[in-house]
Amino acid sequence: MSEVLLRGHELTRRWGGLVAVDRVSLELERGQVHAVIGTNGAGKSTLINLLSGELPPSSGTVELLGRDVSAWPQPRRARAGLGRSYQRNTVYPSFTVQENCRLAAQARHQRPWAWWRDATACEDTRAAAHDAAARAGLTDWLQVQAGLLSHGQKRQLEIAMCLATGPQVLLLDEPLAGMGAEETERMLGLLAAVKAEHAILLVEHDMDAVFRIADRITVMVNGAVIASGSPTEVRENADVQVAYLGEHG
């Protein structure tokens, strides 16, 4: 039986007369990759921002693990199990890979009052950091400064940092952006490996990758959903073919 971990209901975001996201509803289930595709400016990243709490919606609600989290600020949602990555690299370049992951893991065990304790000596966070790095395939790079990693490795590190926070839901904003063919394969392997335990929302422009990995696809145009369903259903949808996929249809 499917387990819905995140539910967005009638989410709308307006800036004056511009409707960036228009009554979008979607559900993310454990073990599924739900891709959101659309042209630039379709509202995909804004949708992620609404779900993660980075932006408040003009209307609509967000439910995480059965609880209405619409009024929760972003950090609280993150601690409740909502991890997200960004379109651009947001790793801490001067920190090592281990420290990037450890700092992310620290969000679950913050202990800010323990000013005399060495943060790196905390077993809980260190173990979580190592585990996340291993799952993202970065064990051999733990002591390397993140700024010195290749682009693909930085994207892997982004995912590792998300995993280190112990999330239930992953909102990934263009994790394949700027990657070569080999790096894309590695990243798809990583996503396939972690999806069993998580619900994943994937915003991506690489259509080949999306149709290979997604269990469900939602297509947005001008902030609104024009189609949603399995990859086959979306591929065969006439509106999608006209509005977005072009030759892919």
Partner 1 sequence: MSMKTIFVFTCFAALVLWPLSAGSYGIDLVTKIMIYAILALSLELAVGTTGLVCFGQAGFFGIGAYAAVLLSPQGEAAALWWLLPACVVAAGLYAMVVGALSLRTKGVYFIMVTLAFAQMAYYVVHDTSLGGGTDGIYLTMKPVLGDWLDLDKPLVMYAFTLLGLMLAFAFLSLLLRSPFGRALAGIRVNEQRMRATGFSTYPYKLAAFTLSGAMAGFAGFLFAVKDGFVNPELMSWHQSGAVLVMIILGGLGHLRGALIGAFAFALLQELFQNEAVFGAFAKHWHLGLGLTIIASVALLPRGLVGVLGQLRERLVGRPMRRGAAPIAEVRP
Angstrom distance (rounded) from CA 73 to CA 75:
6
| CA 199 from centroid of its chain's CA atoms | 9
Secondary structure letter of residue 210 according to DSSP: H
Pairing of strands 59-64, 4-15: antiparallel
Determine the Cα angle at 169 with ends 164 and 171, to 5°: 90
Amino acid of residue 13: R
**Is residue 126 a contact point for partner 1 (CB under 8 A)?**
no
Instruction: Identify the residue among 149, 163, 200, 220 touching partner 1 (CB under 8 A).
Output: 149
Instruction: Identify the residue among 119, 127, 233, 236 touching partner 1 (CB under 8 A).
Output: 119
Angstrom distance (rounded) from CA 9 to CA 155:
30
Binding residue count for partner 1, defined by CB under 8 A:
61
Residues 57-86 as x/- pattern, contact with partner 1 by CB under 8 A = ----------------xxxx-xx---xx-x
Ranges within 167-226 binding partner 1 (CB under 8 A)? 182-183, 186, 189-190, 193-194
Least Å distance, CB 238 to partner 1, is: 37
**Is residue 108 a contact point for partner 1 (CB under 8 A)?**
yes
**Is residue 140 a contact point for partner 1 (CB under 8 A)?**
yes
Per the listing, tokens 């992951």 go with 101
Angstrom distance (rounded) from CA 124 to CA 105:
8
Residues near partner 1, by CB under 8 A: 52, 54, 73-76, 78-79, 83-84, 86, 90, 92-95, 99, 102-104, 106-120, 122, 134-141, 144-145, 148-150, 152-153, 156, 161, 165, 182-183, 186, 189-190, 193-194
